[in-house]
Amino acid sequence: MAHALTPPTEVAPPRAEAASRPATRGVPVYEAVQRQFEKAANLIQLDPAVRKILSAPMNEIVVHFPVRMDDGRVELLTGYRVQHNDALGPFKGGLRFHPALELDEVKALAAWMTWKSAIARLPFGGAKGGVQIDPARYSHTELERITRRFCYALGNNIGPEYDIPAPDVNTNAQIMAWFLDTYQALQPPQDRQRHMHVVTGKPVDSGGSLSRDKATGQGIVYLIERWANERRSGLSRATFTVQGYGNVGSWAARLLARHGAKLVAAEDVTGAIANPQGLDTEALAVHVRANGGVVGFARAVDHETFFSTPADIFVPAALANQITADTAPMLNVRLVAEGANGPTDPEGDEVLRRKGIDVIPDVVCNAGGVIVSYFEWLQNKQSEYWALEEVDRKLHAKITAAYDRTRDTARQRRVDWRTAAYIVALSHLETVYKQRGIFP
């Protein structure tokens, strides 16, 4: 199919899968999220009925859908949408394109979204989804048809007041624009304009919010600043490393650099680089856009050297299960600020605790994305556009409140911050279930 319109934003450049990286071992992510849940639930003696409800997702949707390729062949692709819980509001969570995506991982990611929304006190539940593909294998037009056909396959399982997707790994504002357009095209003409908020993370010209592209990275940096201020050590002389230089990692790195902090090593799917004198974060972002990865920008180092690089802060912003019993012992940092979802498995967590490394857990640290998605959703519902400063000010207020809730709970209960974050989420959900009861 020929496309007359030139897309306003490009889909992320193809990335090769990590062939040279040692396979990450670690606790399977769904088991990890269940273990974290059980630990917090036991500590607060969570109501048994609420515990049963929250221990499994509400809906698990698997779709197989055909897509015609540029050469005329048809591929049958598999897509997922897991809706974990909607006690607090409509299901909300990203869509990712990844060749290793499978149902259990999506279930874990959906549960994390429930906890995240609850901790940030957003009127959203948790969901996650995606398509099991390596996007590097597909052309721009094929990715468009995959996105549109996936949206069609999901049908009424999504909706602006029911389940609202957003970008995640290997998806971006362009994918959201195609998703919106397809969803709108499937509505009766007189209803179309009521559905702008069916996805968030759209391009700003197509109803997106200012600041959404940087929101997750911005939220991480607001919390690192708060952590540093509480320890009376500013960021101007801090050093940091980052894993993943996509949306989250590159924004976190560039915003940290604006505070004077120095990036000393970076790793992504193509390999790792380091420079103790500091890497230019803006130039690195340009390099990644042009070349599909960090490799080639500075001296190459191996995975172990990357993990052992001494720094004040490590921002994992790639995939799950990166900080494990194998890699955590190598870390030589004061803080792990989790940009990715599930970057630390329970065994890695134990090592970090023993080493006295602070952790701002994912469900708090990367909540900036869903917080600004909520602002985008509100703006669309009210046909408003907020100024960038307004979005950033409101993001700061919401995410630092989530941080403070977690820190205070950790102190009161004498538990680590991840357990504290889960306690904040589960207590809120328990209150809501107790107030409403269980139908019938």
Interface residue list for ligand NAD (CB under 6 A): 12, 15, 18, 21, 167-170, 216, 243-249, 267-269, 293, 317-319, 339-341, 366, 369
- By beta-carbon proximity to ligand NAD, the closer residue of 368 and 430 is 368
Q: Which residue is nearest to ligand NAD (CB)?
A: 246
Annotation marks residue 262 as catalytic: no
C-alpha–C-alpha distance, residues 235 and 425, integer Å: 30
The least CB distance from residue 104 to ligand NAD, in Å, is: 15
- By beta-carbon proximity to ligand NAD, the closer residue of 145 and 287 is 287
Q: Which amino acid would we find at residue 260?
A: G
C-alpha–C-alpha distance, residues 86 and 66, integer Å: 30
The b-or-e profile of 294-317 (16+ CB within 10 A means b, else e) is bbebbeebebeebbbbebbbbbbb
Residues contacting 124, CB < 8 A, separation 6+: 88, 89, 90, 91, 92, 113, 117, 164, 370, 374
The least CB distance from residue 329 to ligand NAD, in Å, is: 19
Q: Which residue has the tokens 């979802």?
A: 341
Neighbour tally for 394: CB within 10 Å: 17
- By beta-carbon proximity to ligand NAD, the closer residue of 170 and 344 is 170
- By beta-carbon proximity to ligand NAD, the closer residue of 46 and 288 is 288
- By beta-carbon proximity to ligand NAD, the closer residue of 247 and 433 is 247
- By beta-carbon proximity to ligand NAD, the closer residue of 406 and 430 is 406
Say if residues 311 and 264 touch (Cβ distance below 8 Å). yes
The least CB distance from residue 147 to ligand NAD, in Å, is: 15
Q: In terms of DSSP bridges, do strands 262-268 and 271-279 run parallel, antiparallel, or are they unpaired? A: antiparallel
End-to-end CA distance of the chain: 51
Q: Which amino acid would we find at residue 280?
A: D
At residue 279, φ and ψ (nearest 5 deg) are -105, 135
> What is the Cα Rg of the chain in Å?
21
The least CB distance from residue 6 to ligand NAD, in Å, is: 22
Sheet holding 313-316, edge to edge: 300-301, 271-279, 262-268, 239-243, 313-316, 335-337, 358-360
**Catalytic option among 128, 202, 262, 398:** 128
Active-site annotation, residues: 128
